[in-house]
């Protein structure tokens, strides 16, 4: 069946068409219009500007996704839209657009959780992947472990108690002068620094748990930078980045190892924008090899926000009969309420 995915939860407007059937998972188009250049001027996403940019882009992007897939709207069997979590005004643009299309053309509509969609990207990359598995979602807004018992059945088994890893990268990146979002640039710069140059606290919470706290790490890095500047010297950005990245990667490995020992999964799915980080990818690759766990991580284009992952997640909502109607609303919260 052909699924049209629509994503507008943050600063990317995206539409995609995927072909999903038993044994077939194919991306026919996946168009992403990024607003990053606009938000960069302000050092972060400005919700009002994001909503307006989504309104301007969404119909053109959807038309382009259908055209690239060589299909007409009448050929689509299901429309899948991200309804939560995210920026409420941004989400509303996608939800209202999807509802209008569904109503106008009589196409079934399903609502998709953005976090589940990140995980669903792995189904597109690994056509034989099936639940159960454990997933680690690391993004700008989330850092959580899930036990995925079925494609729509997620149980959170650990995660951050405050900020997300992506937010932590972006924040310190900004302080050392990188444009928003800093994650990808910090990934590169970390190779040029000494990862033991600066002593920073681990974001892994002590004890038998799979939890993180990034706020103390952020504050410690910020204090170090400020105290160096007060002494009149500009701290070495590469050393800060390498040291900062190392404590984050080590914490992720430590907690993933804990989860592997506790849950004994056959496979681990890494997902979310920060899953593009080469240091995290390599470290988890090594850990999974050591523990004989299959490691699945989507390609970089499927890690960041895109609508193909939304369409893939929507397929499983469709199979479960979780249809939405015109009463569908957007929600900023993880549980959709």
Report the residue number whose CB is nearest to ligand KG4.
273
Q: Return the one option of Zn ion, ligand KG4, none that residue 169 interacts with (CB less than 5 to 8 A, by type).
A: ligand KG4
Partner from Zn ion, ligand KG4, none binding residue 151, C-beta < 5-8 Å depending on class: none
Least distance between ligand KG4 and beta carbon 84 (Å): 12
Total binding residues toward Zn ion, as defined by CB under 5 A = 2
Question: Pairing state of beta strands 24-34 and 78-84?
Answer: unpaired
Q: Which residues contact 214 (CB under 8 A, 6 or more apart)?
A: 143, 160, 162, 163, 164, 165, 167, 168, 203, 248
- Smallest separation (angstroms) from Zn ion to the CB of 186: 18
What is the sign of the dihedral through the CA atoms of 253, 167, 9 and 18?
A: negative
Nearest residue to 14 (alpha-carbon basis) of 250, 320, 302: 302
Contact 294, 132 (CB under 8 A): no
Judged by beta carbon, residue 76 or residue 242, the one nearer ligand KG4 is 242
- Beta carbon of residue 141, minimum distance to Zn ion (angstroms, whole number): 7
> From residue 241 to residue 280, what is the string marking binding to Zn ion with x (rule CB under 5 A)?
----------------------------------------
14 scored as a contact of Zn ion (CB under 5 A): no
Choice from 305, 309, 313, 328 touching Zn ion (CB under 5 A): 305
Of the candidate spans 131-139, 220-228, 254-262, 280-288, the one that interacts with Zn ion by CB under 5 A turns out to be 131-139
Q: Rg for the chain (alpha carbons), in Å?
A: 20
Q: Which is nearer to Zn ion, 171 or 246 (CB)?
A: 171
Q: Could you tell which of ligand KG4, Zn ion, none binds residue 170, using a CB distance below 5 to 8 A set by kind?
A: ligand KG4
Q: Closest CB to ligand KG4 among 76 and 111?
A: 111
Question: Least distance in Å: CB of 280 to Zn ion?
Answer: 16
Q: Shortest approach of Zn ion to residue 12 CB, angstroms?
A: 8
The CB-of-321 to ligand KG4 minimum distance in angstroms stands at 27
Residue 108 contact among Zn ion, ligand KG4, none, beta carbon within 5 to 8 Å by kind: none
How far is 254 from 203, CA to CA, in rounded Å? 10
Measured from the CB atom, is 57 or 242 closer to Zn ion?
57
Nearer to ligand KG4, 66 or 167 (CB): 167
Q: Which of residues 132-151 bind Zn ion (CB under 5 A)?
A: 139
Tokens read off for 214: 């990034």
Q: Which stretches of the chain bind ligand KG4, using CB under 6 A?
A: 10, 139-141, 166, 169-170, 181-184, 187, 272-274, 276-277, 304-305
* Contact residues: Zn ion, CB under 5 A: 139, 305
């Amino acid at each position: 069946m052909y699924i049209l995915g629509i994503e507008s939860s943050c600063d990317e407007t995206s539409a995609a068409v995927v072909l999903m059937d038993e044994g077939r998972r194919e991306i026919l188009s996946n168009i992403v219009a990024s607003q990053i250049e606009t938000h960069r001027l302000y050092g972060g996403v400005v919700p009002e500007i994001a909503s307006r940019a989504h309104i301007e882009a969404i119909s053109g992007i959807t038309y382009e996704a259908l055209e690239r897939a060589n299909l007409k709207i009448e050929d689509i069997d299901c429309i899948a839209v991200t309804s939560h979590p995210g920026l409420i005004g941004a989400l509303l643009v996608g939800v209202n657009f999807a509802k209008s299309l569904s109503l106008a053309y009589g196409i079934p509509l399903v609502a998709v959780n953005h976090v589940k969609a990140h995980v669903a990207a792995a189904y597109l990359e690994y056509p034989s992947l099936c639940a159960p598995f454990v997933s680690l979602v690391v993004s700008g807004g989330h850092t959580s472990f899930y036990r995925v018992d079925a494609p729509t059945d997620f149980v959170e088994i650990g995660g951050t108690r405050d900020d997300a890893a992506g937010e932590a990268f972006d924040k310190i990146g900004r302080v050392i002068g990188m444009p928003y979002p800093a994650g990808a640039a910090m990934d590169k710069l970390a190779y040029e620094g000494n990862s033991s140059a600066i002593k920073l606290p681990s974001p892994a919470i002590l004890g038998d748990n799979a939890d993180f706290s990034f706020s103390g790490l952020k504050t410690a890095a910020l204090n170090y930078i400020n105290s160096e500047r007060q002494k009149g010297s500009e701290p070495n950005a590469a050393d800060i980045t390498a040291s900062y990245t190392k404590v984050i990667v080590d914490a992720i490995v430590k907690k993933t190892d804990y989860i592997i020992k506790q849950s004994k999964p056959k496979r681990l799915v890494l997902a979310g924008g920060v899953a593009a980080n080469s240091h995290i990818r390599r470290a988890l690759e090594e850990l999974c090899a050591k523990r004989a766990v299959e490691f699945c991580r989507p390609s970089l284009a499927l890690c960041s926000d895109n609508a193909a992952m939304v369409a893939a997640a929507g397929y499983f909502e469709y199979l479960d009969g979780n249809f939405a109607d015109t009463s569908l609303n957007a929600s900023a919260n993880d549980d959709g309420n």
